[in-house]
Amino acid sequence: MKNILVLCTGNSCRSQIAEGYLRYFAGDKATIYSAGIETHGVNPKAIEIMKRDGIDISGHTSNNVDEYADIPFDYVITVCDNAKENCPYFPTKAIKLHQNFPDPAKATGTDEQIMEQFREVREMIRQYARNFVNENLKD
């Protein structure tokens, strides 16, 4: 069983979406955690856009990376440049991966346009999560 941490700035959108998809695709092959270098709460639009794809993240919490200092991670995935550059150091032998995704929380426009931007980011993260699991969590 692998331990995987997804790290973002506020642990409200991108890392929450990634946690949801990684749990979905990894099944019992990994324990998935997400955290931020800050905590902003889980974004309701992230919950809604995942619900539209049949994945419930409404029970997720927004956690600070310091809460996981004692977990031996196998992988740490940063999903935004800010988290990669500003993550506090914590000792780990984890393989570190990085993929910068646009921040849907900064989307502007009508409600429909904002949700479309959330959907686009969700699709990018879904593809990344599927590829990650296929490449790194083989039986």
Residues identified as active-site: 8, 14, 111
Distance of CA 1 to CAs 70, 75, 86, 136, Å? 16, 12, 28, 12
Distance of CA 44 to CAs 22, 68, 126, Å? 19, 24, 18
Contact between 21 and 87 under an 8 Å Cβ cutoff? The reply is no
CA pair distance 46, 60, nearest whole angstrom: 11
Amino acid (1-letter code) at residue 105? A
Instruction: Write the DSSP symbol of residue 64.
Output: B
